[in-house]
Structure 1
Amino acid sequence: MSGRPFERELFIPGPAIKLIRKGSQIDMKKIIALVIVLALAAAAYGFIRNKNSVEAQPLIDFAEITRGDIENVISCTGTIEPVRTVAVGTEVSGKIDKIFVDFNDNVKKGQVLAVLDTTFLQSSIRDANASIVRADAQYRKAEKDYEHNKELFDQHYVSELELLSFETTMKSNFASLQSAQSALERAQFNLDHALICSPISGKVINRNVEEGQTVAASFSTPTLFQIAEDLSKIQILAAVDESDIGQIKEGQEVRFSVESYFDKKFQGAVREVRLQPKMVSNVVTYTVVVDAENKEGLLLPGMTATLDFVVEKKENVLLVPSSALRIQPTEEMLAAMRRNWTGRQRPGDSTGQRQRDPNARRQGDPNTQRQWDPSSGEGRRSGPPDGNGNWGGRGQRENMARLCTKDDQGNYSAIPVRKGITDGLMTEILENDRVHEGQKVMSSVIQVAEKQNNSNGPRLDMRVMGRALGR
């Protein structure tokens, strides 16, 4: 609709304009009649337009202040792992002759898990024993030769150089005997380690070999089995964002759940916060280790857990939906709130206006209290308002908010409140004399735009008036 509807809606023909301009050619009665008709037409147009417009009222939802428990938590995900896992390998190369355990078997420390083929290892033992016998015989002969020639040397029948040769042969054979003994020890070690035993008591969670498979331990120890020491206790490696890691402390309470048992909550505690950061897609996280009990055996290695680190917890406090602290009232509501707030009676002030020291205000005294603004829920000076909406000390402005109410007579009012902890959906509000359990507050305000009928307003044809004026 145009800002000047009469210029668009009214049709004034040229003869009527000329008739008006030629005042000397018409009498005064016709001019007065024309003015009256125009005034009546304008009034009728305004009446019909207002009748066609529909005044829209805002849609208001209300919520109730309740009393209950609330927690501030940090949520993240992590992977369940055994507290201690040992990878069992072999130090001896060979073929797997027999496997005695399978997946999920419980084993004891020292229990035989598998055996390698010992045919080659036993032949190595026999060969080492033969080498020892040969080296020992050679050493004994060399020792006798040295002793005999030593007596001849003492009688000056053998030169010193000849004696030195016999001594060298004896010592060389003694070294060969020691080498043969070491070879026997190695062969015995290999034979002993052909029996692959469990180093701990626990449960077999992985097996990487089959009977008849050849394993080579020449360069690196192959992993044959993986054993978890005690699955009645597990640990969770949680990835916590760098923005939240400062709120995680050792011993902190943790709740978590897994998708397999979505309706069950498990408890744990923070054991340590690892200082080594991890960066994935430019997101920095830190690993937090959480200890938990698993006596029922429901939690399995590799499960993904959703964790809630309890940062702060309060019980039996006043709670309000967080949306009630963020609503945007209409201009009419805000005007009514300002009027109701200005009209409130303050203790010791019969005028309803708070007395302030102008000198303190000019000097910027931080202890000067100023009026709380009900339209924004904030004050000009940082700090919480008291029961009269006055602001106190600095540093608490971010904790202040506003609750909006509507009484049975339709009067709107704003209540200053101080916020506590929040879980996102509900927020704690600190108690004061203007809020109580069961009180109704606005939780949402939807402003509906004014609707206008499509029908056009009255259209006045000035040609009719021209004929009425005798033209």
Structure 2
Amino acid sequence: MKKKSVIIGILLSLMIAVSFGIYSHISSQEGFTFKTKGVVKGDIARTISATGTVNPVTVVNVGAQVSGKVWRLFADFNAVVKKGDIVAEIDPELFKRDVEEGEARLESARANLRAASENVSLAESRVKSAEANLEKVKASLTYSQREYERYVDLFKKELVSASERDQKESDYKQTLAQIESATAEIDAQKANLSAQRANFQAVISQVKSAEASLNRAKTNLNYTIIRSPVEGIVVSREVDEGQTLTARMQTPVLFKIAEDLTKMQANASIDEADIGCIKAGQKALFTVDAFPYTTFEGVVKQVRIAPIIVQNVVTYDVIIEVENRELKLKPGMTANVTVMVDHESNVIKIPNEALRFAPPGNLKIDKKAGRRLKGKHSRLVWRMDKGGNLEPVPIRTGITDGEYSQLVRGSIREGNELVVQALDKSGKPIVSKKAGSSLRDGPPLKVRFRGFRP
């Protein structure tokens, strides 16, 4: 029990020693002066910088769908056009001839269609006539058959002569032959009707083909008049009057029209190391060389996943939307973009210069205090205590904007002055090494350590 009490007392003593700090006394140096910078409170943002190009949100390439010589141009650079306005015209003469030829072919096909229709009607009437003749012959056959049978009976009763019986038999057989002939005629007329109907369908196809050719010719004629598909401003004219266009392999571009220059976008190239921090909806700021003192605000609209590889350097295209109501931004301007990826409000801000500072001279740190100072995520800054001695303070930092870092934890308050540089007697800066590394030989400094729980 006594041994247990002794162990507990030792542990409590160690905790008290760590909590209240360990002092390492070395004689103070004379002649050193220190430059300090104040700790401030405010907003801090982590940003990513990149360059990009200002572009209209929508640029429409107006092209020609037919080949020919540019006859007239009705729009030029910076021209304001409305949807449906005529912007150019291609020489229409060849296309007019095509329309006339198509009309003639269609008229000829329609004439053939009328003739084919008449032939079908004639074939149908012939079929009907043959069918009527067959019915007539069938009626005669019935009569001839009855007469022949009657005369056979009369001949058996010796009421008529053999010649009269043979005459009726001949009439009956002749009527049978007429039946066969009438049936063959019907078949022939029906075959002719089928042929005429097939010819009629073929002529209908010819008419449809002629109509399609005429419509194509008229469409091509209409294509010689080029209209603006959108309302906007002409930002580029690619052709001149008299220039010949060939639209067979690739559609030639005549104009580039920006649909709305009051809404622009900046295409920023973000390095692959930073792209993971960029998300849609983040705030972005940028400047252009034409207005170096004007900051334009935008919002990240899209992070495109397609990589852009130039000389083994991988970047990604990030689209930033921006309002351009004053029309200051022009297509093609170079944008110096800053994207805000993280932001904290009303926090203590530590100067980054203080984080880089390490005092000159030999600095002997007690091992236990050193372990406390080297806690996880902790960093070291220096300030002057009331006695004029350097005092190291371990802190934990958060986001940084390059000039200041957010204080997450540590005994630093707004208004504290942190040492950022050591000066010699002549006022020249003394280059020091990072804290924790072996410092150059020099006069010792009096240093006081405070405990910090990381």
Q: Any conservation in 1 of the 2:61–2:253 contact (CA below 8 Å)?
A: yes
Q: Deviations over 1:352-374 (max 9, x none)?
A: xxxxxxxxxxxxxxxxxx9543x
Q: 417-426 or 230-239: which moved more?
A: 417-426
Q: Distance in 1 between matches of 2:270 and 2:368?
A: 42
Q: Are the equivalent residues in 2 in contact too, given 1:256–1:305 (CA < 8 A)?
A: yes
2:357 is the alignment partner of 1:327:
yes
Give TM-score scaled by structure 2 length.
Answer: 0.69
CA contact (8 A) 2:397 2:409 kept: no
- 1:193 is aligned with what amino acid? Y
Instruction: Give, in angstroms, the shift of residue 199 of structure 1.
Output: 0.8
Q: 2:286 aligns with which of 244, 256, 262?
A: 256
In 1: Cα distance, 2:393 partner to 2:30 partner: 26
Q: State the AA in 1 paired with 2:287.
A: S
TM superposition outliers: structure 1 runs of 4+ over 6 Å:
448-451
1:414 to 2:375 alignment: no
Match of 1:294 in 2: 324
Which structure would you say has the larger Rg? Answer: 2
Q: What is the CA-CA distance between 1:201 and the residue it aligns to? A: 0.7
Map of 1:441 onto structure 2: 418
Aligned position for 1:467: none
Find the partner of 2:380 among 389, 392, 402: 402
What whole-Å deviation, never above 9, does each CA across 1:236-275 have from its counterpart, x for those lacking one? 2222122222211221111111111111111111112122
Please state whether the residue corresponding to 1:80 is helix, strand or coil: strand
Change (3 A) 1:431 1:130: same
Report the counterpart of residue 138 of structure 2 in structure 1: none
Q: Give the one of 379, 388, 401 matched to 2:372.
A: 379
Q: 1:212 to 1:407 in 2, by over 3 A?
A: same
**Residue in structure 2 matched with residue 105 of structure 1 by the alignment:** 79
Q: How far apart in 2 are the matches of 1:447 and 1:250? A: 43
For residue 147 of structure 1, report the CA deviation from its aligned partner: 2.1
User: Which residue does the alignment assign to 2:276?
Assistant: 246
Q: Which amino acid aligns with 2:264?
A: I
AA aligned opposite 2:389:
N
Alpha-carbon deviation of 1:420? 2.9
1:380-438: CA deviation from partner (whole Å, max 9, x where unpaired)? 774xxxxxxxxxxxxxx22x222223357542221222323211222233575x53333
Residue deviations 1:292-345 (CA, integer Å, cap 9, x gap): 11111111111121111112223443333212112222334x34xx5xxx8xxx
Tell me how far apart the structure 2 counterparts of residues 168 and 110 of structure 1 sit (CA, whole Å): 46
CA distance in 1, matches of 2:431, 2:322: 51
Contact 1:235 1:289 in 2 (8 A): yes
Task: Map residues 85-234 of structure 1 onto 2, 5 A cutoff.
Answer: 85-156=59-130, 159-160=188-189, 161-234=191-264
Identity of aligned residues (%): 35
Structure 1 counterpart of 2:393, one-letter code: I
* Other-structure match for 2:168: none
Q: 1:119 to 1:447 in 2, by over 3 A?
A: closer
Shift of the 405–298 alpha-carbon distance from structure 1 to 2, 3 Å rule, reads same
Q: Given residue 384 of structure 2, which amino acid in structure 1 is its aligned partner?
A: K
Quote the Cα distance in structure 2 between the aligned partners of 1:450 and 1:411. 19
Deviation, 1:165, is 4.2
Count residues with an aligned counterpart: 344
SS of residue paired to 1:264: strand
Distance of 1:112 and 1:406 partners within structure 2 = 77
Instruction: Structure 2: give runs of 5+ residues left out of the alignment.
Output: 1-28, 131-184, 423-429, 433-439, 443-454
Q: Report how far residue 188 of structure 1 moved.
A: 1.4
Tell me the secondary structure at the aligned position of residue 182 of structure 1. Answer: helix
C-alpha distance 165-331 of structure 1, shift in aligned 2 (>3 A): same
- Aligned partners of 2:441, 2:203: CA distance in 1, in Å? 115
- Asked if 1 retains the 8 angstrom alpha-carbon contact of 2:283 and 2:298, the reply is yes
1:425: which partner in 2? 403
Code of the aligned partner of 1:61: K
CA contact (8 A) 1:57 1:447 kept: no
- What's 2:304 paired with? 274
What's the CA shift for 1:439? 3.0
CA distance in 1, matches of 2:431, 2:116: 114
Amino acid at match of 1:379: R
**Cα pair 2:373 2:380 within 8 Å, conserved:** no
In structure 2, distance between residues paired with 1:286 and 1:71: 22
Secondary structure, in 3 states, of the residue corresponding to 2:98?
Answer: helix
- SS of 1:297's partner is coil
Supply the AA of the counterpart residue of 2:311.
Answer: S
Instruction: Give, in whole Å, the separation in 2 of the partners of 1:300 and 1:172.
Output: 61
Q: Which amino acid aligns with 2:288?
A: V
DSSP-derived class of the 2:325 partner = coil
User: Aligned letter for 2:262?
Assistant: S
Distance in 2, Cα, partners of 1:251 & 1:447: 43
Aligned-CA RMSD value: 2.8
Deviations 1:9-61 (A, max 9, x none): xxxxxxxxxxxxxxxxxxxxxxxxxxxxxxxxxxxxxxxxxxxxxx9955643
Say which is worse superposed, 245-254 or 151-160, in terms of deviation: 151-160
Distance 1:429 1:62 in 2: 17
